[in-house]
Amino acid sequence: MSRMFLAKTLAGMLLATAGTFQFAHAQTVAVTQFVEHPELDKVRQGALDALKDAGYASAKVVFESAQADIATASQIASRFNSLNPAVIIAIATPSAQMVVNTGTSLPVVFGAVSDPVAAGLVKNLEHPGANVTGTSARPDVGPQLDQIAALTPKVKRIGVLFNPAEVNSKVLVEDFAKQGAARGFEVRTEAVTSSAEVLSATANLVDRVDAIYVPTDSTVVSGLEAAVAQAIEKKLPLYTADTNGINRGALAAIGYDYYEVGRDTGTIAARILAGEMPGDIAVVPATKSSQLFNAATAKAIGITIPQNLLDQASAVIE
């Protein structure tokens, strides 16, 4: 066997091996989600649908949920880094932070993060740089405070349930309190560190406030029914930035279409699979919001929803 023939044979073997690795690598998408609840599930479904529509229907998808546990989210992030997928999709702020904190050099696409800069995921929304980009979904608390004032004008004290360990929630609550004070509201907060604590945290609030507000906090939203039940029993209005909360008994909500946020997330992942660098792709903000009301809950707590608000609603649950 000549040296030239041997060199060509080895080169061919290396090329074939590299090609096989590249193919397998390009077909693996790892998805991690901080907790499973309807809105975050919509983000995941939207992302997978967008990948399918972009031609990646045959991609191998590996999915793990942290079930609202930070330690579990960290373990998943480490496993995904070792898995070496083509791209990691991390849904919700805590999961995205855990993935980025591993120091991975793999492409990371975060989904539905309220404030990517405050969370330490990127330094610039237009030019993320490095290997991380994604979609943001920061609720505008101004319209939500206006909704509270319009629907329940007698409300003066608003209780907010949130997990202070979630950076996105902390930022939103600070904004809510600041804008609320400017409108004459007194905002009282109650910390929740796990979904199991939602019941006791709500119990600590209901006798001290006139209304309850739940931001897009994964921990609280995953246990929302416990808060809703107590609010209805005390005839308190419960507002939320989680639009699916309407189907779970909240009185009213203003929030984004999280399926569309997911589609934007999946589209970014598809662009990366096609060869673009994450750092060159700007963070895509959510823009499509909806206002919703639950007429059954309104009746249960003795509130009449004004016709002008019903006319503005995207949906009213009877």
* DSSP string over the chain: --HHHHHHHHHHHHHHHHHHHHHHHHTEEEEEES---HHHHHHHHHHHHHHHHTT-TT-EEEEEE-TT-HHHHHHHHHHHHHH--SEEEEESHHHHHHHHHTT--S-EEEEEES-TTTTTS-S-SS---TTEEEEE----HHHHHHHHHHH-TT--EEEEEE-TTSHHHHHHHHHHHHHHHHTT-EEEEEE-SSGGGHHHHHHHHTTT-SEEEE-S-HHHHTTHHHHHHHHHHTT--EEES-GGGGGGT-SEEEEE-HHHHHHHHHHHHHHHHTT--GGGSPPEEP--EEEEEEHHHHHHTT-PPPHHHHHH-SEEE-
What token pair was written down for 201? 């945290």
List pLDDT tens digits, range 113-156.
Answer: 999 999 999 999 999 999 999 999 988 899 999 999 999 999 99
The Cβ-side half-sphere exposure at 73, using a 13 Å CA radius, reads 24
pLDDT at 10 over 80: no
pLDDT at 11 over 80: no
pLDDT at 15 over 60: no
pLDDT at 1 over 80: no
In angstroms, the CA 242 to CA 96 distance is 19
Contacts of residue 129, Cβ cutoff 8 Å, sequence gap at least 6: 122, 123, 279
The percentage of residues in the chain with a pLDDT greater than 90, rounded to a whole number, is: 82
Q: Return the pLDDT at 5.
A: 36
Q: Return the pLDDT at 21.
A: 28
pTM for this model (two decimals): 0.80
- Confidence class for position 27, pLDDT limits 50, 70, 90: confident
What token pair was written down for 20? 């096989």
Give the residue among 131, 81, 88, 130 at the shortest CA–CA distance from 111: 88
Domains of the chain as residue ranges with CATH? 3-137+258-287 (3.40.50.2300), 141-256+290-317 (3.40.50.2300)
Q: Return the pLDDT at 23.
A: 32
Cα torsion through 45, 51, 56, 62, rounded to 10: -50
pLDDT at 249 over 90: yes
List pLDDT tens digits, range 172-196.
Answer: 999 999 999 999 999 999 999 999 9
Q: Return the pLDDT at 19.
A: 31
